[in-house]
Amino acid sequence: MPRDFPLGARFSFPNGLARRILAGVKSPPAVHGTYDEARFPLVLLTVLVLVLAASGVRPPAGRENWLLEVVPGLLAVGGLALAFPRFPMSRLVYALVFVHMLVLDYGGFYTYAATPLGNWARDTLHFSRNHYDRVGHFALGFIPAIVLREVFLRRTPLERGGWLAFLICSVALALGAFWELLEMCTTFLVAGDVGEAFLGAQGDPWDAQWDMFFVLVGAMVALPVLGAAHDRSLDALFTRAKYPRGVRDRGAS
């Protein structure tokens, strides 16, 4: 192969990725955290703090189990807060993270194997077990998939299409596998009853595999279901960055 053979012809990249790399990627507008942009996530954060303060007083599952379920989500919220000044995300992402925290809080309040909602579904639909943990793992794929989609679209040369979906689902599945390893390690480190409640296997020898499968399904469902809504939320974010509230108000008048 000639040494001056074009890179785009030497390798076959999807969606013209090589051409974008060679020609220079057109990045989205720069977005910085402002007070106006912070108001929506701050409202959600205030509500979340009130909910967690109320549920953490005397959870039926015990304070230790509740903390094991909630703290990982709080670390993710803290990461979003630290990134906000330089990388505020779309309002859809913040709303989804808020919902995910409620899912974690509900599971930690009762334990995933003993949630009233899961027990009602088990008795009504004649399931063999409480499946709320499946809901939790579905959410673990569904909601981070949109977060990953935004990061990839705004910070990498990836375009909307098959490779973007493939990488999002792969990272989501890796996240699900990491969570299963975390559950295993926690079960060994904490007291047996708390570790068993956190693991939530309910006697199913395939529980870890089912959990990872539902994480993957959640990510695969999120992309077609919320992709268009996420694009609109991103467009709104870029519009607010380009035309701040004062500029928009003067334009409207």
Could you read off the pLDDT of 35-56 as tens digits, one per residue?
899 999 999 999 999 999 999 9
Q: Kindly compute the dihedral angle of the four CA atoms of residues 174, 175, 180, 181, in this order, to the nearest 10 degrees.
A: 80
pLDDT of residue 192: 54
Least confident of 101-115, 119-133, 178-192, 207-221: 178-192
Is residue 131 within 8 Å of residue 122, measured between CB atoms?
yes
Whether residue 8 is predicted with pLDDT greater than 60 in this model: the reply is no
**pLDDT over 90 (residue 106):** yes
State yes or no: pLDDT of 154 exceeds 80: yes
**Domain boundaries along the sequence of the chain:** 29-242
Q: What pLDDT is recorded for position 204?
A: 62
Mean pLDDT of 125-151: 93
- pLDDT by residue (tens digit) across 10-41? 444 445 444 444 444 455 667 888 889 999 99
* Residue type for position 218: G
